[in-house]
Amino acid sequence: MSRKIGIEALKQVTKRYARKQNRWVKNRFLSRPGPSVPPVYGLEVSDVSKWEESVLEPALEIVQSFIQGHKPTAAPIKMPYNEAENKRSYHMCNICDRIIIGDREWAAHIKSKSHLNQLKKRRRLDSDAVSTMESQSISPDHDKEPKEKGSPGHNNQELKCSI
């Protein structure tokens, strides 16, 4: 019984890992292709009984064509492209202190973990600063402190006299 449970758990984890890999390939190579991104080819892997003819042979053919230096017969996967999108637009992210070129890259940056973490950190610092400012301005002893300690101009005059 525990063997069956273990096999099912392994299948679930494997499926999750495959979905994660597909998502990574899509985001890295297909959604934002750059000049150094290799072509990505899709193969039909749903039927395990036809593995050799639907996966192995086409994959070997693609690899052999690259090794021999000519174009494979299979067409690479292309993501739909919006013609109105500007690939050379210039965006400056003041939060992350980065320059982003291209509308698609900018949209991806705005959604990225690093940008969202920087934004959260900035908001936290700003709210801490505001609360500190408010607590200082509300404090009744705040107005008395400069008189008791002496104003900065008064301290400078004392220093000049003692020199």
DSSP state of 87: T
The pLDDT value recorded for residue 9 is 96
pLDDT in tens, 69-113: 988 888 888 776 666 666 678 889 998 988 888 887 888 888 889
Phi, psi angles (nearest 5°) of residue 128: -65, -40
Q: What is the pTM of this model?
A: 0.44
Contacts of 2 (CB under 8 A, 6+ apart): none
pLDDT in tens, 11-53: 999 999 999 998 888 878 887 666 677 888 888 888 889 889 8
- The domain spans of the chain are 1-38, 41-81, 90-133
